[in-house]
Amino acid sequence: MLLAKGIGLLVLAAAVLSFPSLAPDAFILSVGVVIMSYAVLATSWNFVGGFTGYISLGHAAYSGLGAYATALLVIHTSLNPWVAMLLGGLLVAALAVPIGIASLRVRGASFVIVSIAMVLILLLVFQSWGEVTGGSNGLRVPRPFDESVLRPEQHERFFYLHVALLAVALLTWWAIDRSRFGTGLKAIREDEDKAQSLGVPTFNYKLVAFIVSAFFTALGGGMYALWFGFLDPIFQFSILVGSYMVLMSLLGGIRSLFGPLLGAVIVGYAVEFFKNQYGDTQFHLVAMGLLLGIVVLFMPDGIIPALSSLINRFSPQAASIREVSAGELAEQRRAAASEGKDLDATEAEPTDSLPEGAKR
User: What string of DSSP letters covers 12-28?
Assistant: HHHHHHTHHHH-SSHHH
Single-letter amino acid, residue 206: K
Cβ neighbours for 231, distance < 8 A, ≥ 6 positions apart: 67, 68, 71, 133, 134, 138, 139, 141, 225
Residue 135: Cβ-neighbour burial (10 angstroms; 0-12, 13-18, 19+): middle
Q: Which DSSP state fits 316?
A: P
Domain, as residue range, for 153: 26-314
Do 288 and 267 contact (CB within 8 A), yes or no? yes
Distance (Å, rounded) from C-alpha 269 to C-alpha 136?
28
Q: Is residue 298 part of a domain?
A: yes
Number of domains in the chain: 1
pTM summary value: 0.84
Q: What is the pLDDT of residue 349?
A: 47
| Contacting residues for 19 by C-beta, under 8 A, at least 6 apart | 32, 159
Alpha-carbon distance of 204 to 314, in angstroms, equals 42
Residue 77 lies in a domain: yes
Predicted pLDDT at 273: 83
The rounded distance, in Å, linking the Cα atoms of 9 and 298 is 27
Domain contains 19: no
Short-list 290, 282, 287, CA closest to 269: 287
Residue 205 · residue 188 · CB < 8 Å: yes
> Residue 42: which CATH number?
1.10.3470
> What is the rounded CA–CA span in Å between residue 237 and residue 247?
17
The alpha helices in the chain, defined as continuous H runs, are 2-17, 19-22, 26-52, 60-76, 81-103, 108-128, 130-133, 151-177, 180-190, 192-197, 202-228, 233-236, 239-252, 259-278, 283-298, 303-314, 326-338, 343-348, 356-359
On whether the CB atoms of residues 25 and 82 are closer than 8 A, the answer is: no
Give the C-alpha separation, 291 to 98, whole Å.
35
Read off the DSSP letter of residue 222: H
Kindly give the pairing relationship between strand 139-140 and strand 230-231.
Answer: antiparallel
With respect to residue 102, please indicate whether it lies within any of the assigned structural domains. Answer: yes
In a domain, 327, yes or no: no
Domain membership of residue 358 (yes or no) is no
Q: Is residue 284 part of a domain?
A: yes
Cα gap 331→176, rounded to integer Å: 45
296/60 Cα distance (integer angstroms):
22
Directed axis angle between helix 202-228 and helix 180-190, to 10°? 100
Determine the longest span between alpha carbons in the chain, in angstroms: 96
Q: Mind listing the pLDDT tens digit of every residue in the chain (360 residues)?
A: 677 778 888 888 998 999 988 888 888 999 999 999 999 999 999 999 999 999 999 999 999 999 999 999 999 998 999 999 999 999 999 999 999 999 999 998 899 999 999 999 999 999 999 898 998 889 999 888 876 666 788 899 999 999 999 999 999 999 999 999 999 999 999 999 999 999 999 999 999 999 999 999 999 999 999 999 999 999 999 998 998 999 899 889 988 899 999 999 998 888 888 877 776 667 777 877 787 778 778 877 888 888 887 777 776 654 444 555 666 667 777 776 766 655 454 444 444 444 444 444
> What Rg value do the Cα atoms of the chain yield, rounded?
27
Is 167 inside any structural domain? yes
Classify residue 357 as exposed, middle or buried by CB count within 10 Å of its CB (0-12, 13-18, 19+): exposed
Q: Which of helix, strand or coil describes residue 282?
A: coil
Identify any residues that bridge with 68 across adjacent strands, giving them in sequence order.
none
